[in-house]
A and B are shown apart, each in its own frame.
Chain A
Amino acid sequence: MTKRYNRIIAVAIAVIMSLVLVAACATEYETAAPTPAPTPAPATGNETQGTDGDETVATGPREINQNNILRFGTTSLDGLFNPTVSSNVYDSYVVSLIFEGLVTNNAGGEFIPNIADWELSSDNLTYTFTLHEGITFSDGTPMTASDVAFTYNVFAHPEYTGVRGYVVVDFEGHDEFKDGTADSISGINVIDERTISFTYAEGTASPANIANFGYGIMPEHYYAFDAWDDFAAKFDQPMGSGWFVFQEWRDKEFLLLHTNFDYWKPADIPLIDGVIFLDIPDESLAGAFMTDQVDVANPGASLDNQAAFATIDGIDVRVIEGNSYNFMQFNTLIPQLEDYRVRQALLYALDREAFVTAAYGALGSVGLSPISPVSWAFNPDGMNPYAFDLDKANELMEDAGWVMGGDGVRTKDGNRMAITWLVYPEAAWPGILSGLAADTWPQIGVDLTIEIMDFNTVGDRSLSASSNAERDFEMFTMGWSMAIDPDLTGGIFGLDEMALGDGGFNASGWRNEEYARKMEDAKQSFDQAKRTELYNEISAMYNEQVPTVVVALRSVMWPVADRVGNLDISTYVDWTYHINKVTLDH
């Protein structure tokens, strides 16, 4: 018996081993052996590197050292590694490591030249960019103004599938190009090899416009296409002029970038040999740091994560004041919610301090206005924090004419104070917030129903409905983040036709002509003092009327392993901005 079984077991083991071998070979390691950089780095680069004290690059190609690769923990990559279409934040990180935009911004949120200097015309409509000298893509081809024109034309391509159409939509001649009556966008003019100008249409000048020139420039010779699908086929094989060169991407596993040793400004060649994005579920990140499998990541700032990371040795948890916020939007067109006093009462009866404590602990704060507290336009004076106060809430309900009924639910003119809240389960916080309301709102005579549905459906029934008629909600919550410029038009706080009309983002239905005009003025003004004043007025109005409420703001947590040196992160500066200065202890 034993002999026979030994044989069977031996066969079985052989089968297992061969299986795993096959699987391992099928997914061959690209990163297997240390590979030399594709071409020798320019001599000047080596000298510069040498003076920085890095001995491995004295002469010839620098060898890739696996231990000198920065390991970044991500949760999902979509493979849209292209500056025109990337839509998730991790894809955008990959893009910003590979591509370079014309402008960038500093820690103060001001836009500064990156690979081009610019001038703005006196009518604030025309930006003229001059590319820096000697820029080359990673294959050695020089970057010219026509590459820039090519990139910006992609945003307006009739088959464009990305979310950034707004980048070019205000350019002069955009509409003509889009509907086919013009061959190109008349607002984009290549002046010479290194000079290009962009002209905005009359009436669209704004200090916010400069942000549109931060997107990476693509090499026309590599990306040029006839059919959009040919262009799309290169989304997961990006090539740009930046510090890193794309190597390999395996979905749900990793993405590997090697340093571009031929970078056109040798003094700026990164000190690390590459960056690897590791797909690590948010839940496992703490474990990954504990077992030294990752160097940098951006886990959600939940209490659980804070507790977990606080216990890990050998890392430094940086807390960056963030621009992310949770908002709550009321449908102000229904009788229950049309009176601003009812909306105020609901806020008074929602313990947002408790919510912040439960959801984010020290990393969150109660939101006061639609302006980010990090922004120059923010002023907390006179803003009502709606501190938890059930008596006040009941009083406001009475003032608004809602009378308590026998079943504990208020009524007015035959309407019951019954509200349905759309909550999606993909993130924890909507559940926490609505869980608190489920406890306290019934105490002020509100019959709250929490309807759980997935994120996409919540969106389809509220802010992403294609027309106002398709909106089907009473209130919902979602999260978003604020851009550097405080401009509010068009978005969820916008009061203009674009925000409130069909397909607009402000689903609350709350209208006010005067404030709509103020927002437009604030957007177009180049006078910062005047803008600050206008945004203060707008904030005060939002704080009183509360059709859309910033429930809480949250900071961002960046655990960084101790072996990482010189990593610069702040609210407006991504970890990718100055990564060339980063060192790794290996």
Chain B
Amino acid sequence: MRTYIIRRLLQIIPVFLGITVILFLIIELSPGDASTNFIDPRMRPEQRAEIARRFGLEEPAFNRYFIWLGNTLRGDLGMSMRYQRPVTEILAPMIPTTLTLALLAFLFSVIIGIPAGIISATRQYSLADNSLTVFSLIGISLPSFFFGLILLRIFAIQMQWFPLFGIRNPLYAPPNALAGAMHMLHHLVLPMIVLGMGGTATFMRYTRSSMLEVIRSDYIRTARAKGLSEKVVIYRHALRNGLIPIITLFGFWIPSLMGGAVITESIFGIPGLGRTAIDAVNFRDFPIIMAVNSMLAFLTLLGALISDLLYAAADPRIKYD
């Protein structure tokens, strides 16, 4: 097992490097740079040349890649062109916001999706099962941005139950930390539902089919034959094995959550990584683009690794060498 973990970790390195090389090449081929954002009708040509030089990249690309790589490994992600400050300083406050949203959405998916899947499986072809199946089909087919707009239209504009945008009202002074958390949670309910919807449907589908498989298996039949009550059979015996494949899904779900956050954040005006990244792309703020993309690629790889390890840990039948 230990050698397996080490080997998997080592495998990540070339893959990660491959991704960063491709990203770097793409940025290298970019037809424009950030200098158009820094023009003023009264500027002199020589001043504009200076600005161009500042964004211009004098070293050859090959060297610059290794400089970038070296700096990144030391935790220096470069200077943002737009903010003219270190990228790490700009991204640092965005990360907790995005992570909170992603984790809330994840918990939402798990809390709704898995029990719904279990109910579906235990009452196959019942009304509950059929309606939950239809719900999950809607869940995976409804585009999240459209769903978000519908929720905004109904619950923020029509009913005014939830705020239209943002994660809090900066002029609101919460009397204590709990009230502050509730205030923030209130802002995050709709984004959480939108971001969690796809996951809820997916977890439900997987739980249902995995539980169905287990319920049909021999040892469950044996348990039933022993005369154990249905509750004990399902919740003590079937659940444990039925959920193993679901656990492995968790890791794979991390990148989808981060990708979904880009869309959700821009609909609900949430100050997170996703919106920062879109702004950076529009501004051609290359260091931020590089940083966000590599961060997300790293998370994707990490998610896959976690999945593999969880799977290895959960299922003793699988051997690793």
Contact = CB atoms under 8 A, between A and B. Distances in A.
Interface of A: 1, 4-5, 9, 12, 15-17, 19-27, 29, 31-34, 66, 69, 71, 76, 78-80, 85, 87, 160-166, 169, 232-233, 235-236, 250-254, 256, 276, 278-281, 284, 287-288, 291, 293, 426, 454-457, 459-460, 463-464, 466, 480, 483, 490-492, 498, 501-505
B43 interface: yes
B292 to A, nearest CB: 14
B73 to A, nearest CB: 21
Contacts of A480: 41
A246 to B, nearest CB: 15
Interface string B180-195: 1111110010000000
B42 interface: yes
Nearest to A255: B170
B85 interface: yes
Interface stretch (B7-15, B49-57, B132-140, B307-315): B49-57
A456 B50 contact: no
A281 B40 contact: no
Interface string B121-142: 0000000000000000000000
A29 B174 contact: yes
B33 A456 contact: yes
Interface residues of B, number: 72
Contacts of A251: 83, 90, 93-94, 271, 276
Interface string B65-105: 00000000000000000111100001001101101100110
B121 to A, nearest CB: 14
A12 B177 CA distance: 19
Given A27-B96, A76-B279, A85 B84 contact: yes
B48 interface: yes
A232 to B, nearest CB: 5
B180 A279 contact: no
B37 to A, nearest CB: 7
B103 A19 contact: yes
Contact of B33 (A76, A166, A169, A460): A460
Contact of A281 (B31, B165, B169, B177): B165
B275 interface: yes
B281 to A, nearest CB: 9
B32 A19 contact: no
Contact of A287 (B100, B103, B164): B164
A279 B49 CA distance: 33
B36 A464 contact: yes
Per CB-CB distance, the 8 closest pairs between chain A and chain B, nearest first, are: A503-B45, A459-B36, A252-B271, A456-B32, A165-B47, A23-B100, A491-B41, A457-B32
Contacts of B39: 163, 459, 463-464, 505
A297 B288 CA distance: 29
30 contacts: A16-B104, A17-B181, A19-B100, A19-B104, A20-B100, A21-B180, A23-B100, A24-B181, A24-B184, A27-B97, A29-B173, A31-B171, A76-B279, A163-B43, A250-B170, A251-B94, A252-B275, A281-B269, A287-B164, A288-B165, A291-B160, A291-B163, A454-B32, A455-B282, A456-B32, A460-B31, A460-B32, A466-B49, A503-B46, A503-B49
A253 B104 contact: no
Contacts of B100: 19-20, 22-23
A251 B44 CA distance: 31
B42 A483 contact: yes
Nearest to B34: A456
Nearest to B279: A76
Contacts of B282: 426, 454-455
A80 B36 contact: no
B35 interface: yes
A122 B303 CA distance: 74
A24 B194 CA distance: 21
B37 A87 contact: yes
A210 to B, nearest CB: 14
Given A20-B188, A24-B180, A491-B42, 17 more contacts: A4-B235, A22-B96, A23-B184, A31-B170, A80-B83, A232-B85, A252-B275, A252-B276, A253-B271, A279-B166, A288-B165, A454-B32, A456-B33, A460-B32, A463-B39, A464-B36, A502-B45
B235 A1 contact: yes
Contacts of B205: none
Contacts of A501: 45
B157 interface: yes
Contact of A166 (B42, B90, B167, B182): B42
A287 B166 CA distance: 12
A80 B84 contact: yes
A503 B50 CA distance: 11
A327 B173 CA distance: 46
A504 B39 CA distance: 11
A12 B96 contact: no
B61 interface: no
A71 B271 CA distance: 18
Nearest to A286: B164
A32 B174 CA distance: 7
A236 B184 CA distance: 26
B165 A280 contact: yes
Contacts of B40: 87, 163-164, 166
Contacts of A76: 279
Contact of B84 (A22, A165, A235): A235
A29 to B, nearest CB: 7
Residue among A15, A164, A464, A491 with the highest chain B CB neighbour number at 10 A: A464
Contact of B43 (A26, A79, A166): A166
A498 to B, nearest CB: 6
Contacts of B104: 16, 19-20
